[in-house]
Structure 1
Amino acid sequence: MMATRRGRCSYCGAQLMVPLEAQTIRCTVCQAVTRVQSSYDHPLSQTLDSINNRASRLKAGLVNMVSPTMTGGYAGAGTYGYGGHNNYVQQPPPRPALMPLPRAQGRKRAVLCGVSYFGKSYKVKGSINDVNCMKYFLVERLGFPIESVLMLTENEPNPSMIPTKENIRRALRWLVQGCQPGDSLLFHFSGHGSRQKDYNNDEVDGFDETLCPVDFETEGMIIDDEINRTIVNPLPPGVTLHAIIDSCYSATVLDLPFVCKMNREGYYMWEDQTSSSFKGTRGGLAVCFSACEDDQISADTTAFAGNTSTGALTFSFLQAMQNEPVVTYGRLLNSMRQAIRRAKAGGLRLSGPIASILNKTLFNTELSQEPQLSSSEQFDIYSKQFVL
């Protein structure tokens, strides 16, 4: 029996069984070809082959190198999918055309991304719950038009709404497209975050913060510089963007110039992290609530909602807003922090699967979680009202 591992189609999200040595796989549902990385090479993979299987593949490979196939070519890695293994490398068909996003309109607009990483050892259980709850809150409580809320999860039937790197990029561009004074924009992300070395010297701590789309293993992560250029820099006067980022290492994931430093008693000061690169807006306001410091991991937990997994930041945010609909930024930040502290005292377990795989020494990972606030401009957090 051929050894396999689980995978997901990057276009329709269907679950696939991937042979261990496969480089590409054809989806049995939409027939799209997804590039995958061999389980023997990828650092996040937990699957190891036995010495005998490796020897067998080596032997077969040596035979194939000197034996032309019936088609006149030579045996290669092949393409896997419906119909089995072919002994020649197929040219992958064009990617299925993505459906156009709805026309960006309305005074209130939101992009909600919940990435679960189905079939992976680092899967997240609560991310889809997070965005479902956030969508309900925005539409039913705050009056966001349902057609102005894009939700990207691996459960979506529309390939354009699977949270791949390219789809998230498209959604972020859609979010700020044609925004006008008086518009309120929201970006919510629930999933894995990470860090990587900063190569353009615009980070105080020497690291760029990142978000991990569902296909980050093959397509890479989305770094804070790109997020800032896409949804922060274009904001014109009178437009307000809020981001709620429920992921690890996320304090400065929007690269905003000012970071609110607050102690446990609620006293705060704004820390200016302005760099040589332009990180501000064209006159609008961008504010980010993030799950934790840049050297902390965040919790995906059942501590708040019984047997239902949720992100600690998302749950504490929605709970605070429901308990106190009219609230200042400072009051909201303190409420979220206190809720997480109470949950930790009651046995909240901070889970960070990616953190256990990545280099903790390099990232100086701290096993604690304190929600953070950053902004494109400084303001009095205890007098300015939070409004979506």
Structure 2
Amino acid sequence: MSMLVDCSNCRTPLQLPAGARAIRCALCQAITRVADPRSLPPPLPTQPYATYSNHHYAPPQPHPPPAAPAPSPYNRVASFGQPPPVNGRKRAVICGISYKRTKHELKGCINDAKCMKYLLINKFKFPESSILMLTEEETDPYRIPTKHNIRMAMFWLMQGCQPGDSLVFHFSGHGSQQRNYTGDEIDGYDETLCPLDFETQGMIVDDEINATMVKPLPHGVRLHAIIDACHSGTMLDLPFLCRMDRTGRYTWEDHSPQSGIFKGTNGGEVISFSGCDDDQSSADTSSLSKVTSTGAMTFSFIQAIERGHGTTYGDMLTSMRNTIRKNESDLGGGGGAGGGAVSSLIGMLLTGGSLGGGGIRQEPQLTASEPFDVYTKRFTL
């Protein structure tokens, strides 16, 4: 099993293959050597006092303050333009992948990303400079949604978060599954996100997503994930899934692995909306008439908010499911690793357009780091 190590020169996170003792950094070409873990001293206690990259750690005295945190890996690419600076207490990573000119092409994922950015800025007052967009339309090569860049974006999102922060991770594209051999999945499969270069570089497994964005999340920080992809029900490997029937009654299923592997946070709160259950596919369709494709899940998520149906998390989930059930006629099966798309314009999203008629065989899911009453907990980003 691979592990993440920091480059000894530029501190970029690197994935060390199992059994390897050295790895070369693709950014600075430095070679990082790793000692036998049995010879290493025990790790120091985790310091949950990180602030944003322009501050130092500030643990309580009498302990001496440790060194300033390593800068974001994105700061190493100044020649291609800086990433959005941390601005205020809200930050987001938005990723939309269309896989153009491949057999896996999707029609609405980049539009999903644009719609989500519009929603965060205009409805939830996220500063535009604190939103990192990764799509194939970006001119900066470090914002193309490759496996490496998505990984770095997840690290950027988590860097120096502090109590009161609101973080958002949105992904629209292909999702898939692969056999799990560690015993930490109830159904025996890991869920995966498919970056633009997944055919050559591989997929991003839910274990890594959990280790990067869930486990380190400190007390007082909230992360929302919105995943519009196939097999996305437990894409963040969160320990609790809200199993809701069509009458609105629900129970929280404990998905904590029997192996005892911890899947929760470091005190923070993570809530994830996903396009379908782990064994389901999200829909995909071409543009209809004069409108533009967007993801079915992203459409229903934004529409629930714009129509005032997003007061609580239970209201959000119910509204999303009702919207998708009514709109099968414009949708085809996801197929393969598929992600979702359904016809609309952002103007329709903001003024209450419809998708068509019928019902689609995908059920949006809600997972969380801790169970809560979905009909009393107010939804906000």
TM-score, normalised by the number of residues in structure 1:
0.70
Among 285, 300, 325, the alignment partner of 1:316 is 300
Which residue pairs with 1:342 in the alignment? 326
Which residue pairs with 1:45 in the alignment? none
Among 287, 293, 299, the alignment partner of 2:277 is 293
Following superposition, the deviation at residue 325 of structure 1 comes to 6.5
Aligned partner letter, 1:376: S
Following superposition, the deviation at residue 277 of structure 1 comes to 1.0
Which residue pairs with 1:384 in the alignment? 377
Distance 2:89 2:189 in 1: 35
Contact 1:304–1:343 (8 Å) recurs in 2 = no
User: Is 1:243 the equivalent of 2:225?
Assistant: yes
User: Is 1:138 the equivalent of 2:120?
Assistant: yes
Distance 1:305 1:214 in 2: 28
Distance 1:177 1:332 in 2: 29
Q: Equivalences for 1:93-104 in 2 at 5 Å?
A: 100-104=82-86
Report which stretch shifted further, 293-302 or 347-356.
Answer: 347-356
- SS in structure 2 opposite 1:261? strand
Aligned partner letter, 2:172: S
Q: Deviations over 1:283-330 (max 9, x none)?
A: 110000000010100013368996311110000000110011751000
Contact 1:114–1:130 (8 Å) recurs in 2 = yes
Following superposition, the deviation at residue 122 of structure 1 comes to 1.2
User: Is 1:158 the equivalent of 2:151?
Assistant: no
CA gap of 1:147–1:322, structure 2 versus 1, over 3 A, is same
Distance 1:129 1:373 in 2: 23
Distance 1:270 1:184 in 2: 24
Among 106, 109, 123, the alignment partner of 2:91 is 109
Q: Equivalences for 1:355-374 in 2 at 5 Å?
A: 368-374=361-367
- SS in structure 2 opposite 1:340? helix
CA gap of 1:386–1:306, structure 2 versus 1, over 3 A, is farther
Among 202, 205, 213, the alignment partner of 1:223 is 205
Aligned partner letter, 2:158: V
Contact 1:126–1:310 (8 Å) recurs in 2 = yes
Q: Could you tell me which runs of 5 or more consecutive residues in structure 1 were left unpaired when the two chains were aligned.
A: 1-94, 357-366
Following superposition, the deviation at residue 348 of structure 1 comes to 2.9
Contact 1:297–1:355 (8 Å) recurs in 2 = yes
Contact 1:104–1:177 (8 Å) recurs in 2 = no
Q: Equivalences for 1:120-269 in 2 at 5 Å?
A: 120-269=102-251
Contact 2:227–2:274 (8 Å) recurs in 1 = yes
Among all aligned residue pairs of Structure 1 and Structure 2, give the percentage whose two residues are the same amino acid: 57
Contact 1:104–1:178 (8 Å) recurs in 2 = no
Contact 2:230–2:337 (8 Å) recurs in 1 = no
CA gap of 1:229–1:163, structure 2 versus 1, over 3 A, is same
Following superposition, the deviation at residue 140 of structure 1 comes to 1.6
CA gap of 1:320–1:209, structure 2 versus 1, over 3 A, is same
Following superposition, the deviation at residue 197 of structure 1 comes to 0.5
- SS in structure 2 opposite 1:354? coil
CA gap of 1:337–1:219, structure 2 versus 1, over 3 A, is same
Aligned partner letter, 1:269: T
Among 337, 343, 352, the alignment partner of 1:354 is 337
Contact 1:114–1:127 (8 Å) recurs in 2 = yes
- SS in structure 2 opposite 1:110? strand
Aligned partner letter, 2:376: S
Higher CA-based Rg:
1
Distance 1:144 1:100 in 2: 19
Following superposition, the deviation at residue 354 of structure 1 comes to 3.4
Report which stretch shifted further, 317-326 or 280-289.
Answer: 317-326
Contact 1:111–1:172 (8 Å) recurs in 2 = yes
Q: Could you tell me which runs of 5 or more consecutive residues in structure 2 were left unpaired when the two chains were aligned.
A: 1-76, 340-359
TM-score, normalised by the number of residues in structure 2:
0.71
Following superposition, the deviation at residue 98 of structure 1 comes to 6.4
Q: Deviations over 1:75-107 (max 9, x none)?
A: xxxxxxxxxxxxxxxxxxxx9976553443421
Distance 1:337 1:130 in 2: 18
Contact 2:230–2:334 (8 Å) recurs in 1 = no
User: Is 1:274 the equivalent of 2:256?
Assistant: yes
- SS in structure 2 opposite 1:300? coil
Distance 1:196 1:353 in 2: 13
Contact 1:114–1:153 (8 Å) recurs in 2 = yes
Following superposition, the deviation at residue 244 of structure 1 comes to 0.3
CA gap of 1:237–1:355, structure 2 versus 1, over 3 A, is closer
CA gap of 1:168–1:122, structure 2 versus 1, over 3 A, is same
CA gap of 1:332–1:158, structure 2 versus 1, over 3 A, is same
Q: What is the number of residues matched between the two proteins?
A: 283
Following superposition, the deviation at residue 118 of structure 1 comes to 1.1
Distance 1:177 1:305 in 2: 43
Aligned partner letter, 1:111: V
